[in-house]
């Protein structure tokens, strides 16, 4: 009886710990959802792949998150780098930039949100 109670308690603790760990979201998840949403809106296409490229400090109080998305436009797939600049404290978006694979950064589409 005592062994059963201990085993049950141990299983309960492990289940709770695993559930909590599995539900934790990375810091960039919010920005990844925004990158996907804005890319779908801009390209009117499905996203078939997604990769977080990293976070950078651009200047005092401004961070950027970058993602690479693969857009499926029916007969072709297109790689797009999406960079989102935001205020560190308020998390207000400052700018979003889309750069298609094979195009120079000068031709990137910029959206200023300020």
The answer to the question of residue 92 being in a domain is yes
The answer to the question of residue 53 being in a domain is yes
Supply 35's token pair.
């990158």
The answer to the question of residue 37 being in a domain is yes
Residue in this structure with the two tokens 């207000």, named with its chain if needed: 92
The answer to the question of residue 22 being in a domain is no
Q: Is the pTM of this model over 0.85?
A: no
Supply 38's token pair.
């804005």
Read off the pLDDT of residues 12-53 as tens digits, 9 standing for 90 and up.
Answer: 455 555 545 556 899 999 999 999 999 999 999 999 999 999
Question: What's the pLDDT at 96?
Answer: 95
The answer to the question of residue 15 being in a domain is no
Residue 103 binned pLDDT confidence (cut-offs 50, 70, 90): confident
Supply 52's token pair.
């977080």
């Amino acid at each position: 009886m005592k062994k059963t109670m201990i085993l049950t308690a141990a299983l309960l603790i492990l289940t709770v710990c695993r559930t909590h760990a599995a539900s934790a979201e990375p810091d960039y998840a919010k920005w990844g959802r925004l990158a996907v949403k804005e890319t779908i809106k801009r390209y009117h296409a499905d996203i078939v792949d997604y990769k977080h490229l990293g976070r950078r400090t651009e200047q005092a109080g401004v961070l950027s998150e970058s993602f690479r998305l693969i857009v499926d436009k029916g007969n072709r797939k297109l790689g797009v780098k999406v960079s989102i600049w935001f205020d560190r404290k308020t998390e207000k978006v400052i700018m979003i930039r889309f750069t298609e694979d094979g195009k120079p950064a000068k031709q990137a589409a910029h959206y200023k949100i300020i």
